[in-house]
Amino acid sequence: MSIQSVGIVGAGQMGNGIAHVFALAGYDVLLNDIAQESLDKAVATVTKNLDRQVQREKISEAGKDAALARIKTTMALPELGQCDLIIEAATEREAVKDKIFEALLPHLKPTTILASNTSSISITRLASKTDRPERFMGVHFMNPVPVMKLVELIRGIATDDETYQTMLGVVKSLNKTAASAEDFPAFIVNRILVPMINEAVYTLYEGVGNVESIDMAMKLGANHPMGPLELGDFIGLDTCLAIMHVLHDGLADTKYRPCPLLTKYVEAGWLGRKSGRGFYDYRGEKPVPTR
């Protein structure tokens, strides 16, 4: 299968990063969102990040201009139907993803590959509601997409080998490395990472340490580049909670119980960096622990 055009559904933090790397690698990109403001913001973000790569001499000015010229935007989801590959990068809610794929189906070319950037939801289940489960895959990019080298590739039970091999080639063409994962809740990275963050929240909840001491302990004691609470804020505490629910529901193991304090922060709207407050308050000159 030859992939030349890529449709991306969702122009948020992940979607604009995915658009960035595909355009830079020479693919034609059509970026979709339900709000024009989100599309404008996404293009501004991609431009800023490409400028940064020019300043660091990672790419040329001409390379930046060519990449930007390859990105088109649309609020009309059906326009993505003629793309060779469509990657859904919408919010981490299964009902939302199902509606997106349902709306796309009547407009797709027979050969179009569908993919989801989900960080935890069953690929087999998402694929089963489409007309092409054999051409459906999980393609999970890491945040921030232009910087992180890994892409998790997840085959559903029906994904055929041609689709898998095609996506291996696509990941390689982006100058990234693929890690193949089986289709079980949260795959590899988040199956290990998010329960660690949840355990750090339990450590805070039970008074074992405060925000600062927990993060410092893991940075200096385990050589992690970011502390787990700082990382939770970076990912988004709502996303962390959603992944813990997927693990708890999918594996029926009490070790995946979301910490009540994590739930409380999400209920308060304290979702981390994107909302200005999480385990740190980001509204001042520098982040200050909130607990």
**172-191 confidence digits (pLDDT tens):** 999 999 999 999 999 999 99
Cα–Cα dist 47/67, whole Å:
9
Q: Average pLDDT of 50-55?
A: 96
Establish whether domains 5-182 and 191-289 are of one fold.
no
pTM: 0.90
**Catalytic residue list contains 140:** yes
Q: Average pLDDT of 225-246?
A: 95
12 marked ligand binding residue:
yes
**Which entry of 5, 190, 198, 248 is annotated as an active-site residue?**
190
pLDDT in tens, 114-167: 999 998 899 999 999 999 999 999 999 999 999 999 999 999 999 999 999 999
Cα–Cα dist 172/178, whole Å:
8
Mean pLDDT, the chain, rounded, equals: 97
**Catalytic residue list contains 94:** no
92 marked ligand binding residue:
yes
pLDDT of residue 283: 96
Coil, helix or strand for 81? helix
**Which entry of 119, 120, 122, 198 is annotated as an active-site residue?**
119
Among 95, 101, 93, 94, which residue's Cα sits nearest to residue 9? 101
pLDDT of residue 149: 97
Domain ranges of the chain: 5-182, 191-289
**Which entry of 152, 198, 230, 248 is annotated as an active-site residue?**
152
**Catalytic residue list contains 245:** no
**Catalytic residue list contains 152:** yes
274 marked ligand binding residue:
yes
Q: Average pLDDT of 97-108?
A: 97
* pLDDT of 99 over the 90 cut: yes
Among 42, 36, 31, which residue's Cα sits nearest to residue 9? 31
pLDDT of residue 92: 85
Cα–Cα dist 75/52, whole Å:
28
Annotation: CATH topology of 191-289: N-(1-d-carboxylethyl)-l-norvaline Dehydrogenase; domain 2 (1.10.1040)
CATH class held by domain 5-182: alpha beta
